[in-house]
């Protein structure tokens, strides 16, 4: 017969209290574990711990590998900017960089014609140095990496663009960042406005690969020569009088219309006369162009003293013999930018980069309508119809100091909302900040080495590095040696 336990009322109450206390302790312990698990998971999303304590924030600054273009107008040689930076971007890997090719453009961005790739770092090692600013990763190295396109990465992390950028331009960078090394003219060209870009893309998607416009800005790294826009009417009238070959090409009646323009004539009449002159010139037959150029070049070579424009025309004819673009150069402004000077080009504005090296930024597009100084496909009719025919010398930008950077950074702000460019110079041992901006940024290191800090993370940077920084990221940069950095981002005036 089993044992029987009889619990009186007082004992039952004591047992009940003990049980409730025990259950409460267990519940509190479970809640603490759950909270700790949530914190750990959130921390893991933000930080990856590797090899005993080296850490980085996966949604902060991202390193990029970039695309190069070997167009025939690019520069040859190991000392050109595009070659130098592209080779450095790949860690000096000679197998990826053939010095016997022309190096024309280094692309940084999301456009499908030249995507950048996000570096996935699998293994790091290095010494950690803690200080009041967080952690420094000293001598960090990447053993191997795998990359996905920057566009795909942004689509998977859309918040990195910031709310305003995401709302206005969708899940993509609105700007494209480049370095150019120009040995001979790209082409006489213009970039379509949005309305025309959509039309051209629909009609000829293999030629015009997107629906976007392409306003752009060139910031000179070396002396940089550009043909851009049409000269003023008075200068044009002097030109057609001093270059008789123009009349031979387009006809005396067209030239007379331009010659008769007065300051009292309205804008539409002036533009109509200029449009007719330019269209007649660009539409001339190859046979007539060759005949007229032969006379022009022969005459110029006999002159004792040449104007800068005449010297340019002789250079162009050597590079593009028999090309109508040689004559068209007489109608355009010939501008030479000094290092640190910039020039903006809007949609439907005629231009041709002639020589030199520059940093270039533009709306994300690769649409170009060409009509001269090029072996590529031309669309003379579209170009002549689309141009604004604006006349006069272009404005040259020299930048302004960015507040809070101790005079180390200049900003070049065009009248386009998609982009702006900063240029930062730091001497060895100096530190400067890039203030937080409500849009994404791309950084390019063109000289030196140092450390870039964002919050508690730090990255060693050196020449050739290209980095993506999400919106609202405040950065601090310290220079180990003389350091030079360019930043491209959405125009902060519109954010």
Angle, helix 252-259 to helix 267-282, in steps of 10 degrees: 150
pLDDT of 240 over the 80 cut: yes
Of the pLDDT bands very low, low, confident and very high (cuts 50, 70, 90), residue 21 is: confident
Residue with tokens 């499908």: 112
* Cα distance between residue 466 and residue 431, in whole Å: 19
Indicate if the pLDDT at residue 31 is higher than 90.
no
pLDDT of residue 302: 95
State the chain's mean pLDDT as an integer.
Answer: 87
Q: Is the pLDDT assigned to residue 92 strictly greater than 50?
A: yes
Mind telling me the catalytic residues? 370
Residue holding tokens 């013999």? 321
Q: How confident is the model at residue 7 (pLDDT cuts 50, 70, 90)?
A: low
- CA distance linking residue 354 with residue 225, whole number of Å: 5
pLDDT mean over 351-371? 97
Look up tokens 């213009």; give the residue: 190
Query: Is the model more confident about 27 or about 416?
Result: 416
Q: Of 161, 109, 171, 160, whose CA–CA distance to 365 is shortest?
A: 109
Look at 409 and 140; give whichever has higher pLDDT: 409
> Could you tell me the two tokens for 447?
């000289």
In this structure, is the dihedral angle defined by the CA atoms of residues 9, 10, 13 and 18, taken in order, positive or negative?
negative
Q: Give the C-alpha separation, 413 to 419, whole Å.
A: 8
Give the closest residue to 120 by CA, choosing from 163, 81, 63: 63
- 367-387 pLDDT tens trace: 999 999 999 999 999 999 999
For residue 379, what are its two tokens?
């669309």
Average pLDDT on 183-211 reads 94
């Amino acid at each position: 017969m089993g044992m029987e336990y009889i619990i009186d009322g007082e004992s039952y109450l004591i047992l009940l209290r003990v049980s409730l206390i025990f259950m409460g302790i267990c519940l509190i312990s479970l809640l603490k574990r759950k909270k700790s698990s949530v914190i750990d998971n959130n921390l893991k999303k933000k930080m990856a711990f590797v090899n005993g304590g080296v850490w980085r924030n996966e949604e902060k600054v991202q390193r990029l590998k970039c695309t190069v273009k070997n167009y025939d107008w690019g520069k040859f040689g190991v000392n050109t900017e595009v070659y130098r930076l592209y080779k450095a971007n790949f860690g000096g890997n000679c197998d990826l960089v053939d010095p016997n090719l022309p190096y024309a453009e280094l692309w940084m961005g999301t456009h499908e014609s030249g995507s950048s790739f996000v570096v996935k770092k699998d293994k790091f090692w290095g010494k950690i140095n803690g200080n009041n600013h967080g952690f420094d990763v000293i001598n960090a190295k990447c053993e191997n990496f795998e990359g996905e396109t920057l566009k795909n990465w942004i689509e998977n992390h859309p918040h990195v663009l910031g709310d305003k950028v995401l709302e206005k331009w969708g899940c993509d960078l609105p700007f494209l960042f480049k370095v150019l090394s120009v040995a001979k003219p790209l082409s006489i060209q213009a970039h379509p406005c949005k309305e025309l870009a959509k039309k051209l893309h629909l009609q000829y998607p293999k030629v015009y690969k997107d629906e976007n416009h392409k306003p752009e800005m060139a910031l000179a790294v070396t002396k940089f020569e550009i043909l851009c826009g049409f000269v003023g009417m008075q200068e044009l009238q002097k030109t057609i009088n001093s270059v008789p070959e123009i009349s031979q090409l387009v006809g005396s009646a067209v030239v007379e219309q331009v010659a008769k323009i007065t300051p009292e004539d309205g804008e539409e009449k002036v533009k109509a006369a200029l449009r007719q002159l330019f269209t007649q010139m660009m539409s001339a037959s190859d046979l007539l162009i060759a005949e007229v150029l032969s006379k022009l070049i022969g005459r110029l070579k006999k002159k004792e003293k040449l104007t800068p424009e005449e010297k340019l025309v002789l250079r162009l004819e050597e590079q593009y013999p028999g090309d109508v673009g040689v004559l068209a150069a007489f109608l355009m402004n010939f501008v030479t930018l000094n290092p640190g000077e910039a020039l903006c080009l809007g949609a439907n504005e005629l231009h041709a980069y002639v020589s030199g090296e520059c940093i270039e930024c533009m709306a994300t597009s690769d649409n170009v309508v060409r009509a001269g100084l090029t072996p590529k496909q031309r669309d003379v009719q579209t170009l002549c119809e689309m141009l604004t025919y604006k006349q006069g010398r272009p404005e040259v930008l020299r930048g302004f100091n960015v507040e809070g950077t101790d005079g180390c950074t200049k900003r070049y702000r065009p009248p386009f909302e998609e982009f702006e460019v900063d240029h930062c110079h730091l001497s060895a041992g100096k530190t400067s900040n890039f203030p937080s901006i409500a849009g994404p940024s791309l950084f390019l290191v063109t000289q030196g080495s140092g450390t870039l800090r964002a919050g508690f993370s730090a990255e060693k940077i050196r020449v050739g590095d290209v980095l993506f920084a999400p919106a609202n990221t405040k950065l601090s940069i310290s220079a180990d040696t003389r350091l030079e950095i360019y930043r491209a981002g959405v125009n902060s005036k519109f954010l």
